[in-house]
A and B are shown apart, each in its own frame.
Chain A
């Protein structure tokens, strides 16, 4: 439903978006990841028709954004960064206005407004000026505005930014609930969000697309993916850790073992598998045969933070290289 081809945007000498291509279909929740100023918002602004690309093509629901902007905007719901709305209006009058602009008439207006307000739990503040509302409610007004016409494509720029953990949770639930029959694009720099709501992740840094795949694929790029953290109880940690390291290293699927900490009565280790292998069984049977006293046994899913840093900073170096 969204098709982006060779999209670029130049601001003066600065290339904000550099030859990005991707597509997203129905039922997908696409997560835009990237450091601040990476080009996430710029890309979203071009998809929604707010910014005109320097080059490239965008189509939404098989309408071209550049040649047929009004038609495209009809099929889009957009929550801009910071969820701007008119501060002196009430949510009720604001949503009314949006419904009218979206082409609803008569009873349908009220129905749509009430429906959207209910979905984001706005009804308690419908008649208060938006400027007096809390940040969470303001965000919900933005949400209601974006989903009011039940668009096929929903684009949200940092929907959970600045919300408290409960509100973040609510927003994620809402996104998941709507995901079934829509294409949703969210940008974020919170990695856990990608794991919890997105079906696909795209990493952008310095305007370039650096990764496009599932959150699982992203995790499996991590050194810690399927690694095991093991804490063993012992009276003589030093001798045990030598023995343990030697033993574990002989296991066929284990790539390496690192001693994290050795303190009084305890020793912790990270055990890394060979690429793509799962080692929990091997490690477990090894523990059994040696009769070690286990305090903690934990299979890591992978540190997204680390992968993210890896991907975005390695491009730092290449970008610098290109400059010199």
Chain B
């Protein structure tokens, strides 16, 4: 446990040692603002809630999260520090978890910095803060799922651009996996049970369920087990491909 925290701490520090952290946070906050006020018609709707704010989170994460996760393992590979990391007396599982938690923690920080909009909506009206809390929780969980995919993909290649592009495509698939765009790929040949399984993987469905204010255990379990599976794959990939 201790080792995981040490890795996380180092990783998190390195976000702030480079412009990565600041660029990410500024762009994230700007984009949430743009989406909420222009596309989401925050004022025009005349309702005291944060639905237009959370509505666009999956699409924002689609590009921002892979940009954050692409360097997690690719960079270690490229600079050769993976050799250092793997020969330190810690397990690969600890490294994977440490790196993931750092990235997740960082996203959470960025997300919490959107608090002015929460203050604004409370100032303007009387929103249901429990729903807002649930939405934040859902958003954090969804970010974790995106990050787990990104971390795993970044372990596959030393090229950050490839890691980014492949992660975006995969994340896009998982956002829309309940929709015809993705399902039509499979509907011709896959049996119905697999189709159901795929459509149950949709981030949008699970996120929207939580964002409506209903914290259903199934949605929580979905995101957590989804993260667990991708990180498990991540550990195996690092183990097998560390020296390539």
Q: Which residues of B contact A (CB under 8 A)?
A: 3, 6-7, 9-10, 13-14, 17-18, 79-81, 83-84, 86-91, 242-243
A-B pairs with lowest CB-CB distance, top 9 = A84-B80, A73-B89, A80-B83, A74-B89, A88-B17, A84-B81, A48-B87, A100-B6, A97-B10
**Helix, strand, loop or mixed for chain A's interface?**
loop
- Is A145 interfacial (CB 8 A cutoff)? yes
Q: How many residues of A contact B (CB 8 A)?
A: 29
Of B9, B18, B84, the residue contacting A88 (CB under 8 A) is: B18
Residue pairs across A and B with Cβ atoms less than 8 A apart, 24 shown, are: A49-B87, A50-B86, A70-B89, A70-B91, A71-B89, A76-B87, A78-B84, A78-B87, A80-B80, A80-B84, A80-B87, A81-B80, A84-B79, A84-B83, A85-B84, A87-B79, A88-B14, A88-B18, A97-B9, A97-B10, A100-B6, A101-B7, A102-B88, A129-B17
Q: Please tell me if the beta carbons of A50 and B83 are within 8 angstroms of each other in the complex.
A: yes
Q: Please tell me if the beta carbons of A50 and B17 are within 8 angstroms of each other in the complex.
A: no
Q: Please tell me if the beta carbons of A86 and B80 are within 8 angstroms of each other in the complex.
A: no
* Contact status of A50 and B243, CB under 8 A, knowing A85-B84, A88-B18, A89-B14: yes
* Most chain A Cβ neighbours within 10 Å, of B10, B80, B89: B89
- Is A253 interfacial (CB 8 A cutoff)? no
Q: Which residue of B lies closest to A93 (CB)?
A: B13
B166 → chain A, closest Cβ, in Å? 25
**Helix, strand, loop or mixed for chain B's interface?**
helix
The B-contacting residues of A in range 62-105, CB under 8 angstroms, are 70-71, 73-74, 76, 78, 80-82, 84-89, 93, 97-98, 100-103
* Most chain B Cβ neighbours within 10 Å, of A50, A93, A102: A50
B51 → chain A, closest Cβ, in Å? 39
* Contact status of A82 and B80, CB under 8 A, knowing A50-B86, A51-B243, A101-B88: yes
B14 → chain A, closest Cβ, in Å? 5
Q: Please tell me if the beta carbons of A97 and B18 are within 8 angstroms of each other in the complex.
A: no
Q: Please tell me if the beta carbons of A102 and B81 are within 8 angstroms of each other in the complex.
A: no
B90 → chain A, closest Cβ, in Å? 6
The B-contacting residues of A in range 214-238, CB under 8 angstroms, are none
Q: Which residues of A contact B7 (CB under 8 A)?
A: 101
- Is A45 interfacial (CB 8 A cutoff)? yes
Q: Which residue of A lies closest to B240 (CB)?
A: A52
Q: Please tell me if the beta carbons of A45 and B3 are within 8 angstroms of each other in the complex.
A: no
A93 → chain B, closest Cβ, in Å? 7
Q: Please tell me if the beta carbons of A70 and B90 are within 8 angstroms of each other in the complex.
A: yes
Q: Which residue of B lies closest to A80 (CB)?
A: B83
Of B3, B14, B81, B243, the residue contacting A101 (CB under 8 A) is: B3
Q: Which residue of B lies closest to A87 (CB)?
A: B79
Q: Which residue of A lies closest to B80 (CB)?
A: A84
* Complex-state Cα separation, A101 to B51, whole angstroms: 44
Q: Which residue of A lies closest to B242 (CB)?
A: A50
Q: Please tell me if the beta carbons of B81 and A85 are within 8 angstroms of each other in the complex.
A: yes
